[in-house]
Amino acid sequence: MVFVGGVFKVYAWKDRNSPPKILLEYRMAPARLGDAITVVGDPNTSAKLIASGHGTKNIYIWNIVNGTIPNTQPTIVPFDVVTNVNFARIQQVSDPATPYLISGPTAGIILLDSTFQISLQIPPAFFPSWPMSAQTFSFLGKRYLTYVHVKSNPAENARYVLDITDGNTIREALQSLSQAVFADRLVYQSSLGDVSNGNASVGAGLSNDAFGNVLCMSYAAGNGFILQRFGETTSGFDAPIFKKQSVLFPNPTDGEWIIKHPGNVEAIHLLDLQGRVVQSWLGQSQEIRCSVNDVLPGIYLVQVISQGKMEFHKLMITDSR
């Protein structure tokens, strides 16, 4: 975090064993920056770094291209409908026409188009608390809005989940929500504690695991973290009664690895720990050789499909450079 006139810096690490490098050095910051930042997209290819300006109506946006920020001067977008964007965060939603969602104490929830112009606002008065880190997700054919909040004192912290299935788009869904009664759409809430945490020191994250479950991380400063899973699907690969038919080697690997199976392997999918497919290989063979030269080091799941059955292996990819 930096105060007015200071240098706003952002650091990046190639992996956990590498020293940090300065990704951004923004001098003479016009506002206090760093209370709330969001990265939307994949920094290795194309992403946006977004920071809200304390005591202002402005958000500051930098483009990240192939792991670098080519221009230190941000795009500044003002929001006249809010009194202060401090603590506001922007998340991406699955709607190409309105791909961004901003939420914060005086913003309520605002849906933005691709140029960050306002498409729809649900005012803060609609919510019984400050909506923070608002995000949307789908599960079992329904659409939901979730956020964490603090009260104005702030000695109450919680996560809320609202049903926003109505409508064909996120915009239609939020329009329907704004015309409903909050309590009628509330499907779940969980307390994060009652320790006062400094007005808005809360956050949330959403991801999917390899089996379609939704993982929700929430935190409130002074109270700690909660990780919840929506869904009960598991692979069984850690169960003692489950015996894998396939063999994966070498593991760890920094390049090629091999799957051997007594039957024909139809497909192999390399998944990150959020359940996203990184690479895939298709074939009809008892042995498939795979290369991960272009994959970042880390822990991955390998999904092996043979005769309609799935097996999972954990694979560690190391850095060969």
pLDDT, one tens digit per residue, over 209-237 is 767 788 888 888 888 888 888 877 655 44
Mark the ranges of the chain whose per-residue pLDDT is less than 70: 151-155, 197-200, 210, 233-243, 274-275, 308, 320-321
**Shared-domain flag, residues 48 and 95:** no
**Shared-domain flag, residues 208 and 96:** yes
CA dihedral 172, 178, 184, 188 (to 10 degrees): 80
Segments forming the whole domain that contains residue 151: 87-234
With respect to residue 122, please indicate whether it lies within any of the assigned structural domains: yes
Q: Look up tokens 């190639």; give the residue.
A: 14
pLDDT at residue 199, rounded to an integer: 62
**Shared-domain flag, residues 7 and 24:** yes
**Shared-domain flag, residues 20 and 1:** yes
With respect to residue 239, please indicate whether it lies within any of the assigned structural domains: no
Q: Where are the alpha helices (DSSP H) in the chain?
A: 170-178, 182-185
**Shared-domain flag, residues 10 and 53:** yes
**Shared-domain flag, residues 177 and 150:** yes
Q: What does the mean pLDDT of the chain come to?
A: 85
Domain boundary among 68, 86, 104: 86
CATH number of the CATH domain containing 289:
2.60.40.1930
- Beta-ladder partners of 9: 25
Rg (CA), the chain: 22
> Quick one: which of 159, 153, 160, 226 has its CA closest to 195?
153
pLDDT at residue 308, rounded to an integer: 65
- Dist. CA 94–CA 99, nearest whole Å: 6
**Shared-domain flag, residues 48 and 97:** no
With respect to residue 198, please indicate whether it lies within any of the assigned structural domains: yes
**Shared-domain flag, residues 93 and 176:** yes
Number of domains within the chain: 3
Structure tokens of 73? 């001067």
**Shared-domain flag, residues 163 and 111:** yes
**Shared-domain flag, residues 220 and 281:** no
With respect to residue 267, please indicate whether it lies within any of the assigned structural domains: yes
With respect to residue 240, please indicate whether it lies within any of the assigned structural domains: no
Domain boundary among 210, 234, 258: 234
Q: Are 286 and 264 in contact (CB under 8 A)?
A: yes
**Shared-domain flag, residues 116 and 224:** yes
With respect to residue 242, please indicate whether it lies within any of the assigned structural domains: no
With respect to residue 38, please indicate whether it lies within any of the assigned structural domains: yes
With respect to residue 241, please indicate whether it lies within any of the assigned structural domains: no
**Shared-domain flag, residues 188 and 220:** yes
Domain boundary among 178, 206, 234: 234
Structure tokens of 262? 């007594």
Q: What residues have CB less than 8 Å from 272, skipping those under 6 apart?
A: 278, 298, 300, 301
List the Cα angle 75/80/81 in 5-degree steps: 125
